[in-house]
Amino acid sequence: MNKAPDHAPLASPPTASSPMPGQLDAPIRSKDLFDNRNCVFIEHEGMIYALRTTRAGKLILTK
């Protein structure tokens, strides 16, 4: 007769909706972030940064 193990089974592997600790959440789409603007300002640890889009579709982050 087989006896069930005394410990709980291992949890299933993380899915896209439940990332492992330390992994990134779902990405934010740039079009949602910019909302028809070409520049957004970001406050990070007391500093203000400007995130801009270029005509070529690249991103530039400046202090």
Predicted local confidence at residue 25, as pLDDT? 84
Predicted local confidence at residue 4, as pLDDT? 52
Dist CA 41 CA 13 (whole Å): 37
What are 28-56's pLDDT values in tens digits? 999 999 999 999 999 999 999 999 999 99
φ, ψ dihedrals at 21, nearest 5°: -55, 135
Query: What is residue 20's three-state secondary structure?
Result: coil
pLDDT at 63 over 80: yes
- In the chain, % of residues over pLDDT 90: 56
The CATH number of domain 30-62, selected from 3.20.20.10, 2.10.70.10, 3.40.640.10, 2.60.40.1180: 2.10.70.10
Terminal-to-terminal C-alpha distance of the chain: 69
- Please tell me whether the overall predicted TM-score, pTM, comes out greater than 0.85 for this model: no
